[in-house]
Each structure stands twice: as structure tokens, then as C-alpha cells.
Amino acid sequence: VDYYLTNIERDKQLNAFVEVYAEEAKQRARELDKKIELKTAGPLVGLIFGLKDLICYKDHEVSGASHILKGFESQFSATAVERLLQQDAILIGRQNCDEFGMGSSNENSAHGPAKNPVDPARVPGGSSGGSAAAVAANMCHVALGTDTGGSVRQPAAFCGIYGLKPTYSRISRWGLLAYASSFDTIGIFSRSVEDNARILEAIAGRDEKDATSSSRQVAQYSNAQPHGTYRIAYFPELFDHNGLQPEIQEAYKNWVRELEKEGHSLVEESFPFAEYILPTYYILTTAEASTNLARYDGAHYGLRSGTSNDLEAMYKNSRTEGFGDEVRRRIMLGTFVLSADYYDAYFTQAQKLRRLIKEATEAILQKVDFIITPTTPTTAFEHKSHASPLAMYMADLFTVQASICGLPAISVPMGNDAKNLPIGMQIMGAAFEEEKLFAFSKIQQ
Ligand code: GLN
């Protein structure tokens, strides 16, 4: 604990943590020392983890990096947090992120931007940027983030670590502040495949508090071992895709060649719905966000505007003062696509596309074990360089597919670009095949 607290203090300027539980973590470490002596310590004793400021921890503040939740304390812990604590892991603090998980750079945060430890002039990615920066800069072993459309995989790629988004429903969402409920997952940051697997094994599984959580048995992910060779689909169109940084094209090409040399079967695919993936994602998630965020009204949680003389004005002023620009933009977009006049033109169409994209992706995964892509079109970009929301949305080009389909995907580090910035590659698998995903990822370590 002392070691990590020292690192947190040393790299304070990265703004990775919103709150550090220094005294609490030390106290817990002392208690766990006693358990170790008595030989009653749990399997995760010694593991130090951090938590995205979008996941609840009992009697502690959680803000979703938003002014609207200022001062709000959660009355319960997320199931994932509870399970890690039960196994004697130590929680060291709450980490920076984009407001309510909306963003790809951690610049939309009420706590100010987090910075990339590899180059602090650049973003750590988002929305779980603080968690990725913290793990990469050795401020904790692992961190829990959330991934709705790439928010664990993209920052993992930008910071040079591993980031898993599990199958939708594999980890309980109880205690996770909702952004787009049919996409949201808790995800895991780590510096090794082994730690990632260990954490998933501890937190996955049925939870009575989340009706959507799957009751499928949890595999022994930590024992995952590669077996022979695999069948892998890739997209040759990405070898010279305009929107892709040349070094990422190169790394992807080399990886495909390397895998072929190792004896895996590489299968060429082209994705029929490529141009619809981002619009589908942004229509459906903004729609869900607009309803989920309706609960922040100044009456129930956090900030209440003091400048109102009637109830309606109190709602309006609290929301106006509390939400940042990106969140407001999405609430308006979501409200628009759900409105009576436009519902069929946008929301219904996007739902149909979601089904088509899912079926097409699953059809590929019936022929192969994995689909591989780069995790991101570029490496970490400079702060304030993506002023237009559309430029920012492009950062999710490769990650949203797994989210639309509810499939598991992991970002693994794979070399650096000419500026020495980390490159990440994504491996996507069939639903509930995380064990195989870990096994294959181990070959890439
Ligand atoms: N960047 C994407 C978005 O803004 C993904 C966010 C996420 O996964 N939470 O929606």
C-alpha cells in the first residue's frame, strides 16, 4: 500500500485519482497482515485496486465525474467491488473519467482532464482514462472501469496495458451508474493477462440484484491455457484504410503475418455494415442515456440549484448547472431520436441495424474463434486536439462493434509508434468465451 501511495503522490499531476483512500487502505492492510499470520487470508490478498468514479463504494462519494452528483455518497457497494473486497483485495481510491462515461479522452470531467503517463501532453483515452493511467503508472495493480462502447479497451490501448470488456451480463451492473443500460459493462484494466483473468473470475457471475446478470457458470479463467492453433478473421481493408494511422496499419499487417507464421488459420473478411456501426451506436446510446439521466433532477441526488423559485425551475436549473456540454448534447440527441416524430426514422432503424450487425458478426464467429482489429485508429492524441464531437466519436470506430453485439473483447498492447506511444490490438470472441480470449491473449504477451 505504501509503495502505491508513493507512486500516486509522485504522479499526482496525471490527475488519475479523484480521491485516494490512504488511511483506509493502510488500516485494511494492517488487518490483512493479521489474517495472513492466521492463514485465513482470501485469494486476492495483496492485490491493490482502483475504481472508476462511476462505480459505487459504500459510504464514499461517487460523482460520475459530474457536478450534478457533487457531494453524493453511495449507500451500497457495487457487487463487483464487494466481491473483490470479500477476497481480501484492497481498494486504494476513486479514479478520474469522462462525465457519466461519455467521451474518449477523459477531457469531459468535472475533475479536470487526466493525463497519459507515457506522454502527459496527450490524453490517456476515455472514458475510463484515470483508471488506465493509474494502472500504467503503477499506482495500483488493477482497476475496474466501465465499457459501453470502448471505454476500457481504448484507454488501455492508449496507455499500453490490457483492457477487457466482458460479454454483456457476465459481470453484475449493480452499483454502476447507468449510461446506456443495454451496452454498459464493467471492465478490467491490468498489466498482465493473468491478473485480468483472476479479477474476472472473482467478480463475474449471477447477482440477484441485477436481473440481466447471467447465471451461466463462471469458468476458471485464471487457468486459461492456449490449445493448439486458432481460426482468426481479419479485415484486409484496414491494411490501407484512410482513417488509420500508418503505424497502426503496419502493426496490424505484421500481426496477421506473424499469426499465420505461427500456424493459425487466417480468414479474410469484410464487414458489410462498417459504415453503420458508429451511427447505430450513437443513436441507441444517446437514447438510453437521455432516459437514464432523467433521474438527476436536483431533488433525488447531489446538486440542487439554489436559484429557483418553483419546482420546474429547480429541475431545469439543477440540470443546467450540473451537466457538462457533452452530456447535454447527448441528452438532447437522445430525446430527439426518441421523440414521436422521429422515433421510427432513427430509433427503430438503429434497433434494426443493431440486430443486423449482431447477426453478421455472429455469423463470422461461427466460422472462426476470434475477430481481430486494431483497438483504435490512432495512438494517444494531444489534449484539446479533438474539438469536434464527430472527430472524437471516430476514436470508437473499432470498439463499438463488440458493444453493439454484447460480445467480449480485449485490447492487448502491441508495440509502439514512431513517437514511442503504445499501440493496442483488439481480439473479439463469441459470447461467454472469455476463457478462450485469455488463452489466446497469453500467446501475444
Ligand atoms: N467513447 C464512447 C462514448 O463516448 C464510449 C464510452 C464508454 O464506453 N463509456 O460513448
Beta bridge partners, 162, equal: 190
Beta bridge partners, 143, equal: 50, 189
23 within a domain of the structure (yes/no):
yes
- Determine the residue of 54, 66, 97, 98 to mutate for testing ligand 1's pocket, defined as the one with the most ligand atoms within 8 A of the Cβ atom: 98
What pLDDT is recorded for position 387?
85
What pLDDT is recorded for position 445?
82
Closest CA to 158 of 428, 443, 377: 377
Q: Taking the C-alpha atoms of 319, 325, 329 and 330 in order, what is their torsion angle to the nearest 10 degrees?
A: -80
Per the structure, how many domains does the chain have? 1
Per-residue pLDDT reduced to its tens digit, 118-163: 999 999 999 999 999 999 999 999 999 999 999 999 999 999 999 9
What are the two backbone dihedrals, phi and then psi, of residue 383, each rounded to the nearest 5 degrees?
A: -55, 145
pLDDT at 390 over 90: no
- pTM of the full predicted structure? 0.98
Reported as half-sphere exposure (CB side, CA atoms, 13 A), residue 324 has a value of: 20
Q: What is the mean pLDDT of residues 379-408?
A: 94
343 within a domain of the structure (yes/no):
no
Residue 105, ligand 1, Cβ within 6 A: no
Q: What is the mean pLDDT of residues 276-295?
A: 97
Please state the separation of Cα 259 from the chain's center in Å. 27
Residue 128, ligand 1, Cβ within 6 A: no
75 within a domain of the structure (yes/no):
yes
What pLDDT is recorded for position 252?
98
**Sign of the C-alpha dihedral computed for residues 10, 16, 18 and 23 taken in this order:** negative
Element (H, E) at 147: strand 142-147
Residue 145, ligand 1, Cβ within 6 A: no
Domain of residue 142, residue span: 2-223
270 within a domain of the structure (yes/no):
no
Which positions are catalytic?
52, 127, 151
338 within a domain of the structure (yes/no):
no
70 within a domain of the structure (yes/no):
yes
Element (H, E) at 435: helix 434-444
pLDDT at 272 over 80: no
Please return the burial class of 21, using the count of CB atoms within 10 Å of its CB with bins 0-12, 13-18 and 19+: buried
Q: How far apart are CA 368 and CA 251, in angstroms?
A: 21
DSSP notation for 266-299: EEE---TTHHHHHHHHHHHHHHHHHHHGGG-SSS
What pLDDT is recorded for position 235?
96
Atom of ligand 1 nearest to the CA of 150: 8
Percent of the chain surpassing pLDDT 70: 100
Per-residue pLDDT reduced to its tens digit, 45-103: 999 999 999 999 999 999 999 999 999 999 999 999 999 999 999 999 999 999 999 99
Closest CA to 88 of 143, 38, 50, 33: 33
Please state the separation of Cα 247 from the chain's center in Å. 24
Q: What is the mean pLDDT of residues 281-306?
A: 96
User: 65 and 110 in contact (C-beta within 8 Å)?
Assistant: yes
Per-residue pLDDT reduced to its tens digit, 351-370: 999 999 999 999 999 999 99
- Determine the residue of 52, 97, 102, 393 to mutate for testing ligand 1's pocket, defined as the one with the most ligand atoms within 8 A of the Cβ atom: 102
DSSP-based three-state secondary structure for 427: strand
255 within a domain of the structure (yes/no):
no
Q: Which residues of 303-323 are buried (b: 16+ CB within 10 A; e: fewer)?
A: bbbeeeeeeeebbebbbebbb
What pLDDT is recorded for position 271?
79
Q: Taking the C-alpha atoms of 8, 13, 16 and 17 in order, what is their torsion angle to the nearest 10 degrees?
A: 60
160 within a domain of the structure (yes/no):
yes
What percent helix, strand, coil does the chain show, rounded to 5? 40, 15, 40
pLDDT at 248 over 80: yes
What are the angstrom distances between the C-alpha of 77 and each of 55, 107, 229? 8, 27, 41
CATH number, position 31: 3.90.1300.10
Please state the separation of Cα 178 from the chain's center in Å. 13
ipTM: 0.97
What pLDDT is recorded for position 420?
98
